[in-house]
């Protein structure tokens, strides 16, 4: 058995250090319950850029957008220089727990939506940058690459993950299926409308255990901010309901919901993964093996010059 914990919390918005301190508390709590692998929502550190849906993000040369972007960049993590990343590695090693969760990563003047994976020995295995930010996200996050489309070992099985709507990309899912993924972690900004259907779909398609973990973001989560550095504070506080209501949920390889969903509150979902359940379900449909038919599909893809060079 492999125990997976999906940590659903709100960030201390645009404060990476305090958000990490809060997350570390929950990771310790999860480990005390026997967790082997902990995950959390998309760009929880330092928060999902929810202002893009409440402001005219596409307005050219807008001072408020520039100020907000700069603050977000300032709080994003530079992987080879971040004290928070080093603290993550230290905590993973101390607790003997694998971590895979969302951060905003910066390189140069650009920001990436990144899924970070750290082994239980405290080694950063890889970073996966979201391949294509969705809609208005593209004015905050840069395009990612395929470097992190990998699965990683945990107790002799493989775990992989994707950010938000990447989970709808057939070729992204296939890249992980074909690496014998047994556990799939899907990280989200936070909405049951996002997680309730695709989580079951991925589980049934891949015959995998799927844990979708989201963040929360409520109007009160902006109260601590300085309006000079976050000009959209008032509009974000004025909403009468949550910007992100969570929706963390877990599904087994038969499509059965086994944990959650959690909505409009912080908490942890726990899933005890039995890898053999996935293997049993792959007796009749195995996208990682006999049902993949790579002998056919590789040739088709190679012949599509507009898709592959």
Per annotation, catalytic residue among 42, 137, 205, 281? 42
**pLDDT score recorded for residue 305:** 55
**pLDDT score recorded for residue 174:** 93
**pLDDT score recorded for residue 307:** 52
Q: What is the mean pLDDT of each run of 10 residues along the chain (309 residues)?
A: 98 98 98 98 98 92 96 97 97 98 98 98 97 96 96 96 96 94 97 95 97 97 96 95 96 98 97 97 90 82 59
- The pTM of the full predicted model, rounded to 2 decimals, is 0.95
- Which whole-number Å values give the CA distances from 189 to 1, 40, 43, 244, 276, in the listed order? 28, 10, 7, 7, 31
* DSSP-assigned letters across all residues of 198-219: HHHHHHHHHT-EEEEEE-EE-G
**pLDDT score recorded for residue 306:** 54
CA distance 56 to 70: 17
Per annotation, catalytic residue among 71, 89, 106, 164? 164
Q: Is 229 among the residues known to form the active site?
A: no
**pLDDT score recorded for residue 302:** 73
Q: Is 126 among the residues known to form the active site?
A: no
CA distance 26 to 101: 13
**pLDDT score recorded for residue 11:** 98
Structural domains for the chain: 2-281 (3.60.110.10)
**pLDDT score recorded for residue 308:** 46
Q: Is 42 among the residues known to form the active site?
A: yes
Per annotation, catalytic residue among 22, 106, 130, 150? 130
């Amino acid at each position: 058995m492999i125990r997976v914990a999906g940590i659903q919390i709100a960030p201390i918005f645009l404060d990476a250090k305090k958000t990490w301190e809060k997350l570390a508390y929950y990771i310790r709590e999860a480990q005390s319950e026997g967790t082997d692998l902990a995950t959390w929502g998309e760009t929880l550190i330092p928060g999902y850029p929810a202002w893009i849906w409440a402001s005219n993000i596409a307005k050219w040369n807008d001072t408020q957008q520039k100020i907000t972007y700069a603050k977000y960049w300032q709080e994003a993590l530079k992987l080879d220089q971040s004290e928070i990343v080093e603290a993550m590695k230290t905590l993973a090693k101390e607790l003997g727990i694998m971590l895979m969760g969302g951060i905003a990563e910066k390189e140069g003047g650009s920001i990436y939506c990144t899924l970070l994976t750290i082994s239980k020995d405290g080694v950063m295995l890889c970073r996966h940058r979201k391949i294509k930010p969705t809609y208005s996200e593209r004015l905050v996050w840069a395009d990612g690459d395929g470097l992190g489309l990998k699965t990683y070992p945990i107790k002799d099985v493989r775990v992989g993950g994707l950010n938000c709507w990447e989970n709808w990309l057939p070729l992204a899912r296939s890249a992980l299926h074909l690496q014998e993924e047994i556990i799939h972690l899907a990280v989200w900004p936070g909405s049951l409308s996002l997680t309730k259907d695709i989580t079951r779909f991925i589980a049934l398609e891949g015959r995998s255990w799927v844990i979708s973990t989201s963040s929360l973001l409520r109007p009160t989560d902006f109260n601590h901010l300085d309006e000079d550095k976050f000009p959209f504070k008032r509009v974000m506080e004025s909403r009468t309901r949550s910007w992100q209501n969570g929706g963390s949920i877990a599904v087994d390889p038969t499509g059965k919901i086994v944990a959650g969903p959690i909505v409009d509150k912080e908490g942890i979902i726990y899933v005890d993964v039995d890898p053999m359940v996935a293997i049993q379900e792959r007796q009749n449909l195995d996208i990682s093996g006999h049902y993949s038919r790579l002998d056919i599909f590789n040739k088709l893809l190679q012949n599509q010059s507009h898709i592959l060079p």
